[in-house]
Structure 1
Amino acid sequence: AWATAAGYARRSPVVGIPTPPPARRGPGRAQLPPRWAEHVAAWTAHQQAGGRAPSTIDLRRRALACLAATYADPWDITGDDLTFYLARTDWSPETKRSTRSSLSSFYRWAVRAGRTDHNPTEALDGVRVPRALPRPTPDEAVWAALAAADDRTRLMILLAGLAGLRRSEIAAVHTDDLDMPGVLRVRGKGGRDRLIPLHPDLAAALNAEVTRRRTQGPPGTGWTVAGTAPGWLFPGYGPDSHLHSHMVGKYVGEALPAGWTAHTLRHRFATQAYGATRDLRAVQELLGHSKPETTARYAAVPDHNLIAAVAGANMNHRPHRPTTPIQRQSTGPTE
């Protein structure tokens, strides 16, 4: 990284070599080399002016920071360079697609802004993501997590399992989002807000937390002090900030048995909501998806429906029986 930033190397020779992820205490903000910093800052301002969600801008900026650690000059990168960069085997198809989208956004802006006359992402094909089967968290795993979790983590689990919220959406829940009785306003992905009717169990848990804030002291790290009911449901560690989505995933993942996550709780919600209504469009609205095809990857069809569908297939037609003997064609001398 130092050699590429200092101009001694055009491309890092270690790109694509899998390495174990470093231990981290929390999400950090990667520093950009000087030849990237000015351009990325201008692109970030452009994204903010366009109303992009902060989480979206942060995700795309991190993708650019990773590329900047490999290539010293953003305008010296070719389509072949990006092909080699995205060909690494330790990235999932979802990561490759997200990275390609982030890089395309940056270089399209750079061409329009006159900072370069070449967009290397035009040489890239779209990334195919294999269709994944839904993985709803099973009942036993949810029960075990609810029994072992503290109050804060238990509320996170309920928001994922009974409202289908993403990690970033759980982190950003504010008490102002509960101003309509029986409804939760969710600040969704891509700046799209939606309204979710509250499950009775989730409504009771949320009301209990708001009441606790007004009357009691903080039960653990991260809660606000007594008498300060308004504010983030899961406060962060800075002034007027909420908990990072990375930490929400960490707490929920530690409470659930191995292999299950906050995202599989979202799959569970989608599966149960679809099983109760058979209305994929309604589930799409609840999950905040822009396309029903995305929702179909979340909602597993209940087993009894699959069994009934297979049982509906039959071969009960009566076979044709010829009324006269079939004459065998002679292909040679009669024996």
Structure 2
Amino acid sequence: MSLKLTEGMRDTLAQWLDHERALKSASENTITAYGHDVSGWLSFLAEHEGGGFGPAAIARVRLSDMRSWMAHERGRGVAPRSLARALSAVKTFTRWLAERDGFDATAILATRSPKFQKKLPRPLSPDAAKEMLSTVELQDEEPWIAARNVAVVTLLYGCGLRISEALSLTGSDVPLGEVIRIVGKGNKERIVPVLPAARQAVAEYVRLCPYDLLPETPLFRGARGGALNPRLISKVTEAARMQLGLPSSVTPHAMRHSFATHLLNAGGDLRAIQELLGHASLSTTQAYTAVDNARLLQVYEAAHPRAK
């Protein structure tokens, strides 16, 4: 669909994206997704009205217009989860614009999100996680690359890092100490303990790596010496899980799920795990960990003052 937006609307959208980037510290991936989702919505409204669509026109959007947009998106095959994400971006943009320009945005903000079944995380069992680490090492004949793969996956499982966080480490971070300082989503810093197994795995990689790991350069390197592409770790993980006969849900991110779940099942405190994972909300951590209701009740009874 062609963009039939006025220059003013395009400027307004750019201003909002700058706002999200600067004041809310949104990642570039999030900014790109926001821009795509809101641009698509604005394009539909421009086509719907049959003419140029400027910022003032948003104040005239009715609930029926929103329903037409959502029906259009479903009609072209957009999944409920993706549509819910787009609607969330639209509401965030509209709320910002309504506060700036002083209009009533109730029709847009009151639009109900489509229902969808949330996918529960599928962590590995402790034994499967150990087997994954062993099998990852076998996916490359070059010793230093094999050691690199093990080091990265060990950081995901042993420290609960996102793959982007593991690959953001630089030469200045080695040798790893008992804790590392991680800058995660929203530029939020957290301190993460490092298990001896993770320190040893990284140290072995550093020992074998043929490239100079200077303080300002990426710690994990590709075969030609550049920064390691996260897709390579995904491929290695995929090959290892296929060898082990594990389901397709076993991804690098599943190692982080497994870290959280195994820690909670071992008696870890939910709020402490929230801090380790860098989650802004405790509800996110609870959804992130695959524990049964009985285990959650135990955590509740142990932590809640009225349960004692």
Closer, same or farther: CA 175–263 of 1 in aligned 2, 3 Å: same
Query: Residue type of the partner of 1:144?
Result: T
Q: 2:36 maps to which residue?
A: 62
1:284 aligned partner: 274
TM score, norm. by length of structure 1:
0.63
**Which residue of structure 2 lines up, in the alignment, with residue 122 of structure 1?**
109
**For residues 53 and 244 of structure 1, what CA distance do their matches in structure 2 show?**
22
Quick one: distance in 1 between partners of 2:165 and 2:66? 35
Aligned residue pairs, count: 265
Match in the other structure for 2:50: none
The 3-state SS of whatever aligns with 2:266 is helix
Post-superposition offset of 1:264 = 1.5
1:196 deviation in Å?
0.8
Could you tell me which residue of structure 2 aligns to residue 204 of structure 1? 200
Separation in 2 of the partners of 1:71 and 1:154? 50
* Higher alpha-carbon deviation: 102-111 or 202-211: 202-211
CA distance change for structure 1 residues 70 and 177 in 2, over 3 Å: closer, same or farther?
farther
Which is richer in helix? 2
- The correspondence for 2:66, drawn from 72, 79, 86, is 79
Distance apart, 1:198 and its partner CA: 0.5
Displacement of 1:269 in angstroms is 0.9
- Does structure 2 conserve the Cα–Cα contact (< 8 Å) formed by 1:135 and 1:298? no
Larger Rg: 1 or 2?
1
Give 1:50 shift. 0.7
Q: How does 1:1-335 map to 2 (within 5 A)?
A: 1=1, 4-5=2-3, 37-55=10-28, 56-67=30-41, 70=44, 72=46, 73=53, 75=57, 78-85=65-72, 87=74, 91=78, 93-114=80-101, 118=105, 121-126=108-113, 128=115, 130=117, 132-138=119-125, 139=128, 140-148=131-139, 150-151=145-146, 152-176=148-172, 181-212=177-208, 216-217=210-211, 226=212, 228-234=214-220, 249=234, 252-253=237-238, 255-257=240-242, 259=248, 260-301=250-291
AA paired with 1:167? I
Alignment root-mean-square deviation, CA: 3.9
Q: Cα distance, 1:6 vs. partner?
A: 5.6
Is the alpha carbon distance of 1:114 and 1:178 closer, same or farther for their aligned partners in structure 2, counting shifts above 3 Å? farther
1:162-193 deviation line (CA, Å, top 9, x unaligned): 12122333343344456872112222223322
Query: How has the CA–CA distance of structure 1 residues 112 and 298 changed in structure 2, closer, same or farther, with 3 Å as cutoff?
Result: closer
Distance 1:172 1:101 in 2: 29
Taking the aligned partners of 1:129 and 1:178, their CA distance within structure 2 comes to 44
Contact 1:183 1:197 in 2 (8 A): yes
TM-score, reference length from structure 2: 0.67
Aligned partner letter, 1:184: I
Corresponding letter in the other structure for 2:99:
R
Distance 1:82 1:199 in 2: 50
1:147 alignment partner AA:
L
8 Å Cα contact 1:82-1:120 kept in structure 2: no
Offset at 1:243? 6.0
Residues 108-134 of structure 1: CA deviation (Å, up to 9, x unaligned): 222233397657531312455545444
Check conservation: 1:168, 1:244, Cα contact below 8 A. Answer: no
Q: Is the 8 A contact 2:66 2:111 kept in 1?
A: yes
Structure 2, unaligned runs of 5 or more:
47-52, 299-308
Which amino acid in 1 is paired with 2:15? A
Deviations 1:76-129 (A, max 9, x none): 663223432564695555433332222222122222333976575313124555
Flag the 1:231–1:125 CA change in 2: closer, same or farther, 3 A.
same
